[in-house]
Amino acid sequence: MNSLPQNNLLSIKEASKLLRVSTKTLRRWETSGRLIPVRTAGGHRRYTVTQIDDIKKPKPKEVFISPFPSKDQLTATIAEIAREEAKKEIINDKILGETINNKQRLTLREKQKTEDDTYNTLTNLYKFTLPSTRRIFAYYVLEIFLLVGIFAGFKNNIIGKGTAFLSSRNNRIAQIFGIRKEIPETNADNMRNNNEFAGNNVLADTTSVSTQTFNIYVETNISENVNIGKDLEISGGDLTSSSTIFNLLNENVE
């Protein structure tokens, strides 16, 4: 290895020889700022020994840092992930167990509710069925009594006896009404006989001591002749006739 000269400044050729590079490389280094030359009075380039020594020293190797974690780091990370997953599974199992228990409780409640509903339904059905059964039984008993009664009636001829009894009763009633009917007819006959005996004195006998009055308060239709022996007084209303040949004549006026 070439030793550095004793003087502090080196020419471009000396520097290129020591560094084993060309002069063009040194000029590029000047342009990039890696070397800073010193100009002499005549304008020649000179490089300090310190700069050349720094360049000649071996550079420390760059330590390569891998972007991937190391084996230990991977192992630790995997273990941490495993612990987290185990915790999650435990929590999920706990939640699942609570969910299953809740479902089981709900199922038991629904089953109990169903049993209660069935019991209530059967109870209500029994309430509605028992009176119906009693009513049907009563109908059967009533039909049996009716059949027994009808059979006994036919056997003892109750219908014939009842008909004869009712007939006798009807005859008795007819006789009673007949007697009552005969009484007004008898009275009417007596009145007719009295009228025939009295002659024309129907309403009032001419030989009566006091004057008698016969008041009529109902509408009266007279189909035959009316003979009035004394005055005819009309207090109000009209004297009308629907006949086209009506004559009001006094044949005895002189």
Question: Is the distance from CB of 18 to CB of 56 less than 8 angstroms?
Answer: yes
Task: Return phi, psi of residue 10, to 5°.
Answer: -125, 145
Query: What would the mean pLDDT of 77-105 be, rounded to a whole number?
Result: 79
**Tens digits of per-residue pLDDT, 109-133?**
787 778 777 877 767 665 555 555 6
Query: What would the mean pLDDT of 199-215 be, rounded to a whole number?
Result: 57
Question: Is the distance from CB of 38 to CB of 47 less than 8 angstroms?
Answer: yes
Query: Tokens representing 116?
Result: 């209660």
Count of residues making up the chain:
254
Q: Supply the pLDDT for residue 198.
A: 46
Query: Which domains, from first to last, does the chain contain?
Result: 9-56 (1.10.1660.10)
Q: Which of 33, 32, 35, 31 is nearest to 50 (CA)?
A: 35
Question: Is the distance from CB of 178 to CB of 186 less than 8 angstroms?
Answer: no
pLDDT above 50 (res 4): no
Q: How far apart are CA 115 and CA 157, in angstroms?
A: 61
Task: Return phi, psi of residue 47, to 5°.
Answer: -115, 140
Residue 191: half-sphere exposure toward Cβ, Cα within 13 Å: 8
**Tens digits of per-residue pLDDT, 12-28?**
888 888 888 888 888 88
Q: Supply the pLDDT for residue 54.
A: 80
